[in-house]
Chain A
């Protein structure tokens, strides 16, 4: 893979999708307002849960806000990259426009995963970081290099797991043609990631760790923030994310052999 060429292409992707989005100013404004209101609503909901309990699953309100911050960043990334691109795979396959992607001398997974962006997601990412900075202050967390590296690694791993899951589901469209619902279910599960994993029953915790690894997506980065995470958990998250990324890649390449294109 020629990195320089891929960076050049990505720069073009950014340019064209931003230019496309900026054609509709009102839509961007509404998306921005929605992002702000959605964060306010989520914090309000969280505060209601903590009104009569000082802690849920061992997490107090100030600590739970960290999960909310990480969730907001991940949701921002979802809205910026995953939603506009990965839901488009279904359309590409149904309408046969995947043909154009496959006939370009560029990696098809790179193309369909990164071609579009939705700028309103950027605001969510910024808001999520602001919330995390606020949490660092109120929870009196000491920032040092190892803390920053661990946070970076765990958040990157979370993004990779989420991407792989979504991509995996979208790839099944090659056989099932229409799988909107499955990606919607995944998004709904992601909402659950706003709450501490310990606040769920044991069976749900096992389900969200093994089948839909939400535990890895939001809880482990949050534990790193609070200095509660154990090394084995971080290593496990790194391992899980590599396995997920590798599997989704292999699955995509395998699925393409069954692509029959749409009729003309």
Chain B
């Protein structure tokens, strides 16, 4: 049985946030008498993640995804609850724990700006106490996987965003961590760079059985990498389970476009009890529940003379958009 590598129980986090009124008066008032209020950004959440799983955290901006990742890494102290990552209490940040994890943030970088990435890799290698030959071997292996070569010797400031992100990944993975926390790793990358990065993460997970926790606003990242998603809404978990199931829940019906030979066929289909979305002279679109697709298609093909048919699913972005604003998926 695969063991749980991350175990979170009744976790909460509150921050003191200061707010002020607009305008000069508000600024002066804020300077002399700062009003702060405690804001609970994570509310009593619990979940477990198994070794080797790739889990996507979904939620709108400010939902609390990054705060959860940062608590899992040990960067932020939880206000309540317990976290165990690889058997460690993350916020103690013990060396053995830190050697097992990595955090990659799409919007922040650790590479030395004026030097080629290779210098940052060797610096990280010395911090993780790797000898030179071992560091060289790992750099070669990861650069092959990431398909970067000449870029290793060009100053970071002269690299494209995609090349820089690949180098950031290499710097963050040189110690071969078995838990990866990725906070919007494909942010700002073009489509090809995004695809390459996803391909790399998939391969890394397959080869090393590393556990990956990922947040992203690019739905392709989630759909192509994560079988399981945790949806966060206002600091609470609104869904934790398989992505497929969630999509089914959010899209209980599919649309079938039927191309008929004549208007008569269209009218016959319309009168046979299907829910019609729209129709034209020789085309009709009907809505069919996911669990009755096969039987409905059988009925149509046996009873009507159909020229062609198309089964349409709503675009994934549209479905995920619903996730970001929806609070509960069980009802």
User: Which residues of A are at the interface with B, using a C-beta cutoff of 8 A?
Assistant: 2, 5, 8-9, 11-13, 15-16, 19-20, 23-24, 95-97, 99-100, 102-106, 257, 259-261, 263-264
Contacts and interface: CB of A to CB of B under 8 A. Distances in A.
Contact of B103 (A12, A103, A106, A260): A103
A9 to B, nearest CB: 5
Given A16-B112, A23-B114, A96-B108, 13 more contacts: A2-B129, A5-B129, A9-B127, A11-B126, A13-B123, A97-B108, A99-B70, A100-B110, A102-B75, A103-B93, A104-B127, A261-B76, A264-B107
Given A9-B127, A99-B103, A105-B127, A264 B183 contact: yes
A99 B126 contact: no
Contacts of B112: 16, 20
A99 B77 contact: no
A97 B66 contact: no
Nearest to A264: B66
A11 B125 CA distance: 13
B256 to A, nearest CB: 41
Contacts of B98: 103-105
Contact of A23 (B15, B120, B155): B155
Contacts of B155: 23
B126 A12 contact: yes
Interface string B71-113: 0011111000000000000000101001101110101111011
Contacts of A102: 74-75, 93
5 contacts: A9-B127, A16-B119, A96-B108, A102-B75, A103-B75
A95 B110 CA distance: 12
Interface of B: 15, 66, 70, 73-77, 93, 95, 98-99, 101-103, 105, 107-110, 112-115, 119-120, 122-124, 126-129, 155, 183-184
B119 A103 contact: no
A4 B228 CA distance: 44
Given A19-B115, A97-B108, A103 B73 contact: yes
7 tightest A-B CB contacts, nearest first = A105-B95, A105-B98, A100-B110, A20-B114, A12-B126, A264-B66, A23-B114
Nearest to A7: B126
Contacts of A11: 126
A12 B128 CA distance: 12
Nearest to A100: B110
Contacts of A103: 73-75, 93, 98, 101-103
B186 to A, nearest CB: 13
A106 B94 CA distance: 10
Contacts, number: 81
B284 to A, nearest CB: 47
B110 A260 contact: no
B121 to A, nearest CB: 11
Nearest to A258: B77
Residue from A100, A259, A260, A261 having most chain B Cβ neighbours under 10 A: A100
Contacts of B103: 99-100, 103
A95 B112 CA distance: 16
A105 B129 CA distance: 9
A56 to B, nearest CB: 42
B221 to A, nearest CB: 15
Contacts of A259: 75-76
A40 B115 CA distance: 35
B108 A95 contact: yes
Residue from B73, B122, B129 having most chain A Cβ neighbours under 10 A: B129
Contacts of B15: 260
A96 B66 CA distance: 12
Contacts of A20: 112-115
Contact of A100 (B66, B108, B184): B108
A129 to B, nearest CB: 30
A147 B240 CA distance: 71
A187 B231 CA distance: 50
